[in-house]
Structure 1
């Protein structure tokens, strides 16, 4: 029966991750080093590139269109970066996860490394870089005179949920992109659209058209941005919004099912295609 095969595939994926857990950490570190190797400023680009992007959007919304009003007593700049910083991880994993198996095809063809673990260490490397940005974000809040509160204790839960969803995405998208580069090109094309449609720089809860608002609140990118702002700005617990937790769990389960399906269907063909 298909459901038994799906359970066997899921068991295989979990087993591979447990068996190769040490290698995953080493490869994640290697992936970070590879990203910045050869650049004169090296690791500084992990901060410079997001900082330039944030400055451009802050200037556009605070100086240009002059809509950067304070939010619950917090400067608009702090409101913006609380949702923007996790976006950098999500963006990197949307595209990097989709291209992960193609990028590390030598692990599949030469070393026979488990294909299902490749997207995981790429996602992990992106998360490690983003955690450094999140620490900087907290210091920026402190520099503005806003100390961390008890609500920040829920951020690790948000990080875990974010990592699980986007790692599952990376496995599904990585398998499909390995089979067809068109899928990878499609992902790169729609990523910027997702940014504008996901409430990263505006509050999706304030959209006045009900069906659009409810649809957006099924978007994991929107839910993660909301979670960070609830912790950093609005001082609310994520469980005060059970509907959003339900939506995120539903989307995560769906993504995990799709990842298992893609791996089960394509794992034997990947070494020959790439």
Structure 2
């Protein structure tokens, strides 16, 4: 637990540095593009359009999903997925890709996954604005359930931070891990509930165990929680076992990730 405490304190003490580096990376990434930072919004918007045509119109045929227009149901899930996917992949490669900075930096290397997460937040914030406008257009009215959005947002940040520390460390030690993670995330996209509801897709009592296993996915817990909030379905404490399992996973990953990070980070340059 001392390693966890050290890593957390480093994030708090270097919050200003995290913010400055993330803003610099945002500008540097798109500085040679005519549209600049507009691509952080335009790229996911194009993907949303493609997924809606394929799954909303093609597969679902425009039917309601849990009493909600499919486009709203999908947006809630896919916006969270884009942020999670980009942060996991970027965070995994955040230390390895900064080999030059790692050798000269005057701040702890543990903040680099957090820097990447901050960089992706601009796109997430813009897409959330699109979601709110879309819900207004389709008459999805605010309710008291919306308040728990902040709880699930904290869950998402905790998930990304803990896995960011673990993934970035393993990627330095085993370079193939980043490539494997890309493949795993492609699979998780279809198992996270971002674009379809596997609870209605998987029918039959004999297959209910499959649904229960899929519901243990931390990404599903976050996405379904956002839908519970915006579509006013249920409170997070009504998912007692799922909530407990989610935070146990986060705690375990945080402990293991922090321990590995503190153990090997003095030798990161040698591994890289």
TM-score of the aligned structures, taking structure 1 as reference length: 0.91
Structure 1 unaligned spans of 5+: 1-6
Name the counterpart of 1:125: 119
Matched residues, number? 268
| Counterpart secondary structure, 1:70 | coil
User: Cα RMSD between the aligned structures?
Assistant: 1.8
Matched, 1:95 2:92: no
Q: Decide whether aligned partners of structure 1 residues 63 and 204 sit closer, same or farther in structure 2, where only a CA change above 3 A counts.
A: closer
Q: Deviations over 1:223-245 (max 9, x none)?
A: 11101111122432222222221
Name the counterpart of 1:109: 103
Q: Decide whether aligned partners of structure 1 residues 66 and 219 sit closer, same or farther in structure 2, where only a CA change above 3 A counts.
A: closer
Matched, 1:40 2:34: yes
Within 5 Å, give how 1:120-269 maps onto structure 2. Answer: 120-206=114-200, 207-208=202-203, 209-269=207-267
Q: Decide whether aligned partners of structure 1 residues 153 and 216 sit closer, same or farther in structure 2, where only a CA change above 3 A counts.
A: same
Question: Is the Cα–Cα contact under 8 Å of residues 83 and 226 in structure 1 kept in the other structure?
Answer: yes
Name the counterpart of 2:11: 17
Name the counterpart of 2:271: 273
Query: Offset at 1:137?
Result: 0.8
Q: Decide whether aligned partners of structure 1 residues 72 and 218 sit closer, same or farther in structure 2, where only a CA change above 3 A counts.
A: closer
Name the counterpart of 1:65: 59
Question: Is the Cα–Cα contact under 8 Å of residues 107 and 113 in structure 1 kept in the other structure?
Answer: no
Name the counterpart of 1:26: 20
Q: Deviations over 1:106-164 (max 9, x none)?
A: 23101243111111111122234312211221111112222322211111111111011
* Alpha-carbon distance between aligned partners in 2 of 1:46 and 1:183, rounded to the nearest angstrom: 26
Question: Is the Cα–Cα contact under 8 Å of residues 3 and 255 in structure 2 kept in the other structure?
Answer: no
Q: Decide whether aligned partners of structure 1 residues 33 and 148 sit closer, same or farther in structure 2, where only a CA change above 3 A counts.
A: farther
Q: Decide whether aligned partners of structure 1 residues 121 and 80 sit closer, same or farther in structure 2, where only a CA change above 3 A counts.
A: same
Query: Offset at 1:201?
Result: 1.3
| Counterpart secondary structure, 2:105 | coil
* Alpha-carbon distance between aligned partners in 2 of 1:111 and 1:72, rounded to the nearest angstrom: 50
Structure 2 unaligned spans of 5+: none
Question: Is the Cα–Cα contact under 8 Å of residues 83 and 121 in structure 2 kept in the other structure?
Answer: yes
